[in-house]
Amino acid sequence: MTNPAIELDGVTLELGPRRLLDTASFTVNNGEFIGVLGPNGAGKTTLMRALLGLVPNVRGTLRVLGRPVTHGNALIGYMPQGRSISTAHRLSGRNFVTCAVDGHRWGVTLARSRIRRAMDHALAIVDASDLANRPLTELSGGERQRLLLAQCLLGQPQLLLLDEPLISLDPNHQASVVELVRRVQRQLGITVLFSAHELNPLLNAIDRVLYLGNGYAALGTVDEVITPSILSRLYGSPIDVMQLGKRIFVMSGSIEVEKHDHAHEADHQL
């Protein structure tokens, strides 16, 4: 039997004076696509940084791929929140992806003889081979996300941590990015944690949802987690859940809380 991809047993995470997770326990199985949601400041980014060994847990046990968390784990691919490529506009797509080979910066170390082969393979997996020679200034937001995903895949990771990759994308590009990540996840048989500010773009892709809030963590199917009782506990206030067609709306009175949180997310990158 293979080890779970992620195991938390009584884990507490704090950031400054704030307790973001309080004795949380859950297990993510290998090969799962998990949507990570929750109000701003709930700890989505902090959890991912803890899995990378960048934020120590105050108490409890946290294991990744069957081993204690270590900094610089090459088996984890990470796309940080708000990762901008605006400073690299003069680069071609190929050269931009190659930047990730610098192990001191990105945690990926490859022998020079393998660089081009690994890069070509990563570009092909995300359907970005045709972007290799185009300057970044000519690429759409969705195409740039493909290059960022290719960077994450260079080290042949077994776990992908994608922190808000849908920010600033229109609905069509959001759908294409989610579909791409799901296809890559299935093709490579890897585990994905995909954080987002809204559930609906992920509904057709995720196996389970991990919802964080108010120090708690709830992991399960959408039907198990997206309920008034569980979300009211996570938000710390009464929450209603409405379904219209294939879309789900998380409401606090007349306010759609996921949309409301997104409007203020720049103030809370936790």
- Pairing mode, if any, of strands 67-68 and 18-28? unpaired
**Domain boundaries along the sequence of the chain:** 6-75+157-267
Report the b/e string of 54-76 with b at 16+ CB within 10 A: ebebeebebbbbeeebeeebbeb
Q: In 3D, which of 79, 23, 74 has the Cα closest to residue 49?
A: 79
SS3 55: coil
User: Stretch 176-183: mean pLDDT, rounded?
Assistant: 96
- 104 pLDDT exceeds 70? no
| Amino acid type, 235 | Y
The closest of 26, 71, 36 to 52, measured between CA atoms, is 71
- DSSP string over 130-197: GGTTSBGGG--HHHHHHHHHHHHHTT--SEEEEESTTTT--HHHHHHHHHHHHHHHHHHT-EEEEE-S
Q: Which residue has the tokens 């940080």?
A: 80
Mean residue pLDDT of the chain comes to 87
The Cα–Cα gap between 243 and 229 comes to 16
Q: What phi, psi does 182 have (nearest 5°)?
A: -60, -45
25-82 residue pLDDT tens: 999 999 999 999 999 899 999 999 999 999 999 999 999 999 999 988 989 999 998 6
pLDDT band at 268 (very low <50, low <70, confident <90, very high): very low
At residue 107 the predicted structure's pLDDT band, cuts being 50, 70 and 90, is very low
Query: 6-75+157-267 maps to which CATH number?
Result: 3.40.50.300
- From CA 93, how far away is CA 90, in angstroms rounded? 10
**The pLDDT of residue 105 is above 60:** no
Helix and strand element counts for the chain (H, E): 9, 13
The model's pLDDT over 108-159, given as tens digits with 9 standing for 90+, comes to: 555 566 677 888 888 999 999 998 888 888 888 888 889 889 989 988 899 9
Stronger pLDDT, 216 or 121, i.e. the higher one: 216
